[in-house]
Amino acid sequence: MKFAVDSPETPPVGTPPAAAHRPHWGGWLAGLGCGLLALAWLGRGWWQDSPTPERQVAAGLEQLAAGVLDEAQLQPLVELARRNPRVRGLGPLFEGALATAQGRTDEALQRLATFQPGEVSRVPLLMTLAQTLEAAGKGPDAAQVYQELLKHDERSLKARYALAQYWYQRGAITRAMSELEQITRLDSQQVRAWTELGRHSFDFGLIPQAVRFLRNALDCEPEAEIRKQICLDLGQCLFQQHDFEGALEFFDQAKPGPVTAAWRAEVLAALGREEESRAALAEAQKLGPADRTVRLATARLSLQRSEPREALAAMQAGVAENPLDRDFQFQLAQAWSALGETAEADAARERFAELDHLADRYSELNTQAGDHPDDIPLRLELAELAEKLGRIPQAASWRRAARLIEQQQPVPPPR
């Protein structure tokens, strides 16, 4: 749910190319205003005897502007541009887009660099170029082009989503949320934007704000599977607010699984429905005995029920896998204390105190990172803290963020 956790949507950042070999997109973008009016032929009076090619090209440009790279649609456009003199000027754009769709990004960049856009083709070019740079692993260059695109089409949701993801990858959550909020102002039915805003807010402890965002996401009537995940997130938020009845309502609508069952067990216990809570915990343990959420729920509920040995077994298994988990160490100290094992309890408390201090520092720097999007040392320190806290995926994410910022070098002027 938070930036620092690995996500399939966060691609690894490659090694920055040598400055001498970086494309001069900055200078190229500065010259956009001098581009040719390549699509003047699209006005009334042109090609009235050939409406099908006209509509075909117009549809193709519309799709490119929307960020759709459809190989089946682009191939005929490339062929049309090669055989028809009036469309030939669009050839490099269509050829570049097709090359990107086929994974040939180096060739695509070469084609697109030769294209001189007109008013109608400028946004399609910028969108295609940005996507090509992304596919080539040139995130900072892609972000620059997306920002240029928004000067011409401020309502481009695809560009704003791309920039939100870019800032997220850099650990600049404040800027990422700003783009997401702009998306919701442009289109209040954007489930993805509301959901990401809710999760970012939850990660920073802004629970009332997270609840509002996630409720807005549900109001958009998302698809069933997405709705189930939102219900799980919203249930956790309401649990934090001690709205146990509300939390249970959403946990009951969430996708069944060990995490959902563990949360249901905790909220049912809070409501005094002990028998149901035990049944839910047993289900969670059956579905995911090694799941972190399940182990923590087992420890907390076992201690509440004066069953410290059950809590101890769960926490010893957890600590064996990750001795740097602060929450495991805290519950382990509670279990040892309940069993009257003073020495073991003191050792676990001491370890917890060390990890808690590191966690506080991590939270402090994590918040600072949102307002300092270019601070590489800050991100490297966060990576080190994450490693000391046993949060290996988070450490890797912060190091990728640092490398991404390193790629953002000033673009030299064109020769």
The closest alpha carbon to 366, from 345, 386, 350, belongs to 386
233-256 pLDDT, tens per residue? Answer: 999 999 999 999 999 999 999 999
Query: Are 199 and 180 in contact, with CB atoms under 8 Å apart?
Result: no
DSSP code string of 277-314:
HHHHHHHHHHH-TT-HHHHHHHHHHHHHTT-HHHHHHH
The closest alpha carbon to 50, from 61, 42, 60, belongs to 42
Residue type, 340: G
CB count, 10 Å around CB of 152? 14
Residue type, 63: Q
Report which listed range, 49-53, 136-140, 172-176, 186-190, is most confident: 186-190
Query: Are 150 and 161 in contact, with CB atoms under 8 Å apart?
Result: no
Look at residue 155 in the predicted model and tell me its pLDDT: 95
Measure the CA–CA gap between 42 and 97, rounded to whole angstroms.
20
For residue 344, is pLDDT > 70?
yes
What's the pTM?
A: 0.81
State mean pLDDT over 175-194.
96
Report which listed range, 162-171, 188-197, 360-369, 401-410, is most confident: 188-197
| pLDDT confidence bin for 212, thresholds 50/70/90 | very high
The upper half-sphere exposure of residue 31, i.e. CA atoms within 13 Å in the direction of its Cβ, equals 14
SS3 6: coil
% residues pLDDT > 90 (the chain): 75
Residues in the chain: 415
For helices 376-388 and 392-407, the axis angle rounded to 10 degrees is 170
Looking at per-residue confidence, does 48 or 346 come out higher? 346
Domains by residue range for the chain, with CATH: 1-14+22-40+48-166 (1.25.40)
State mean pLDDT over 258-268.
98
The closest alpha carbon to 345, from 324, 325, 360, 331, belongs to 331
The closest alpha carbon to 194, from 131, 3, 154, 202, belongs to 202
State mean pLDDT over 402-413.
69
Q: What is the DSSP letter of 5?
A: S
Look at residue 410 in the predicted model and tell me its pLDDT: 52
For residue 77, is pLDDT > 80?
yes
As a whole number of Å, the end-to-end CA separation of the chain is 45
Contacts of 28 (CB under 8 A, 6+ apart): 113, 414
Sort residue 255 into left (φ over 0), alpha (ψ -120 to 50) or beta.
beta
45-54 pLDDT, tens per residue? Answer: 444 444 477 8
CB count, 10 Å around CB of 305? 15
Contacts of 206 (CB under 8 A, 6+ apart): none
What own/partner pairs with CB < 8 Å and gap ≥ 24 does 75-81 have?
Answer: 80/53, 80/56
Query: Are 369 and 171 in contact, with CB atoms under 8 Å apart?
Result: yes
The CA–CA distances, whole Å, from 258 to 92, 226, 281 equal 52, 18, 9
Find where tokens 């969670």 sit: 284
Measure the CA–CA gap between 349 and 331, rounded to whole angstroms.
9
Give exposure, 37-67, as e/b (b: 16+ Cβ within 10 Å).
Answer: ebbebbeeeebeeeeeebebbeebbebbbeb
The closest alpha carbon to 251, from 208, 280, 288, belongs to 280
